[in-house]
């Protein structure tokens, strides 16, 4: 189910410094990705309902020897008015060692492939379609 909510509460958007984002919304979908863990999709719409940014993230955990690890993969960025996409693909690995140590994290950015960008755009279109169907 698509959850729709403002990007900021009224106490922010009613102030002069928050006026620029008044009417903006975020659409989110959280899915169980089976063995892959959790999938979280986020689309930000401007006040006219135009999608301006999107993020597709999958997070899952695994055991690495005696340590627990979590992996996060996402493609996210800005959807430009001309149809182009400016964004990044991230792969993050976090390892939780013994309880008295801080988790170790390694994040690797890369340029998303054309196929990943097209898949993200298709997800945005589907989320918009579903949010319109379910709107009151």
Q: What is the pLDDT of residues 1-56, one digit of tens each?
A: 899 999 999 999 999 999 999 999 999 998 876 666 888 999 999 999 999 999 99
At residue 6, the pLDDT reads 95
Tell me the per-residue pLDDT of 43-74, one tens digit each, with 9 for 90 and over: 999 999 999 999 999 988 776 666 778 889 99
Question: What pTM, to 2 d.p., does this model score?
Answer: 0.82
For residue 136, pLDDT beyond 60: no
Please tell me the distance from the alpha carbon of residue 118 to that of residue 120, in angstroms, as a whole number: 5
pLDDT at 33: 63
Torsion of CA 65, 36, 38, 96, to 10 degrees: 10
């Amino acid at each position: 189910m698509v959850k729709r909510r403002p990007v900021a509460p009224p106490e922010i958007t009613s102030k002069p410094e928050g006026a620029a984002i008044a009417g903006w919304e975020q659409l989110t979908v959280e899915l169980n990705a089976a063995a892959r863990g959790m999938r979280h999709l986020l689309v930000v719409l401007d006040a006219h309902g135009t999608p301006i940014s999107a993020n597709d993230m999958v997070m899952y955990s695994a055991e690495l020897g005696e340590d627990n690890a979590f992996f996060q993969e996402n493609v996210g960025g800005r959807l430009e008015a001309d149809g182009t996409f400016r964004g990044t693909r991230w792969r993050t690995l976090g390892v939780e060692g013994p309880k008295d140590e801080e988790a170790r994290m390694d994040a690797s950015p890369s340029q998303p492939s054309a196929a990943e960008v097209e898949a993200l755009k298709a997800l945005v279109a589907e989320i918009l379609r579903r949010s319109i169907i379910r709107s009151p």
